[in-house]
Chains A and B, each alone.
Chain A
Amino acid sequence: MTTTAERTATSRLEAPPGGRPRQARRPTGGYGLGRVALVVGVCVLVIFIFGPILWLMLWAFAGIWHYPALLPQRWSLSWWRQVFDYPQLVRSVGLSFTFAPVVMAVSAVVCLPAAYALARFPVPGRRTMLVVLFAANAFPKIGLYITIAGLFYALHLMGTFFGVVLIQLLGTIVFMTWIPAAAFASVPRALEDAARDVGAGRVRVFLTVTLPLAAPGILVALVLSFLASLDEAQGTFLVGVPRYVTMPVQMYSLVSDYPPQAAAVFAVLLSIPSVVLMLLVRRHVLGGSLAKGFEIR
Chain B
Amino acid sequence: MPGLVIEHLSKTLGGRLVVEDLSLRVEPGELVCLLGPSGCGKTTTLRMIGGFIPPDGGSISIDGVDVSGVPPERRPTAMVFQSYALWPHMSVFKNVAYGLKLRRLPKPEIERRVEAMLALVNLSDKGARRPAQLSGGEQQRVALARALVLEPSLLLLDEPLSNLDAKLRVGVREEIREIQQRLGIATVFVTHDQDEALAISDRVAVMSGGRIEQFDEPAALYRRPATTFVAGFIGAMSMFEGAVGSDGVRLGQAVQVPFAAPIPVAAAMGGGAAEGWTIGVRPEDVLVKPARPGGRSRATARVLKQIPHGHYRELVLGLDGLEDTRLRAFVAADAPLGDHLEVSIARALLYHEGRLAHEVCGQDRVRVDARAAVATP
Interface residues of A (CB under 8 A from B): 188, 190-191, 193-201, 204, 208-209, 212-213
Q: Report which of B52, B99, B102, B147 forms a contact with A193, defined as CB distance below 8 A.
A: B52
Contact A198 B89 (CB under 8 A): no
| Nearest opposing residue in chain B for A190, CB measure | B85
- Known A190-B81, A190-B83, A204-B102; judge A197-B72 contact (CB<8 A): yes
Cβ of B138 to closest chain A Cβ, rounded Å: 17
- Check B87–A193 contact: CB distance below 8 A: no
* In contact, A197 and B87 (Cβ under 8 angstroms): no
Question: Which B residues lie within 8 Å of A200 (CB)?
Answer: 73, 98, 102
CA distance A148 to B115 in the complex (A): 62
**Shortest distance from the beta carbon of B143 to any chain A beta carbon, whole Å:** 8
Cβ–Cβ < 8 Å partners of B78 in chain A? 197-198
Given A193-B52, A193-B72, verify A198-B98 contact (CB < 8 Å).
Answer: yes
A-B contact pairs, 14 of them (CB 8 A): A188-B85, A190-B81, A190-B83, A191-B88, A194-B87, A197-B77, A197-B147, A198-B98, A198-B99, A199-B103, A199-B150, A200-B98, A212-B89, A213-B87
Q: What 20 additional pairs, Cβ within 8 angstroms, besides A191-B85, A196-B71?
A: A190-B81, A190-B82, A190-B83, A191-B87, A193-B52, A193-B79, A193-B81, A194-B81, A194-B87, A194-B146, A195-B87, A197-B73, A198-B73, A198-B146, A198-B147, A199-B102, A199-B103, A204-B102, A212-B89, A213-B88
Residues 60-83 of B at the A interface (beta carbon under 8 Å): 71-74, 77-79, 81-83
**CB neighbours of A197 from chain B (8 A):** 50, 52, 72-73, 77-79, 147
Write the chain A residue with the least CB distance to B100: A198
Bound-state CA distance A197–B154 (Å) is 12
State the CA gap A202–B150 with chains docked (Å).
19
- The residues of A that contact B74 with a CB separation of less than 8 Å are 199
Contact check: which of A188, A198, A209, A212 meets B102 at CB < 8 Å? Answer: A198
| Alpha-carbon distance between A196 and B89 when the two chains are bound, in angstroms | 17
Known A-B contacts A213-B88, A213-B89; A196 and B73 likewise in contact (beta carbons under 8 Å): yes
| Chain B residues, Cβ within 8 Å of A195 | 87, 98
**Chain B residue at minimal CB-CB distance from A204:** B102
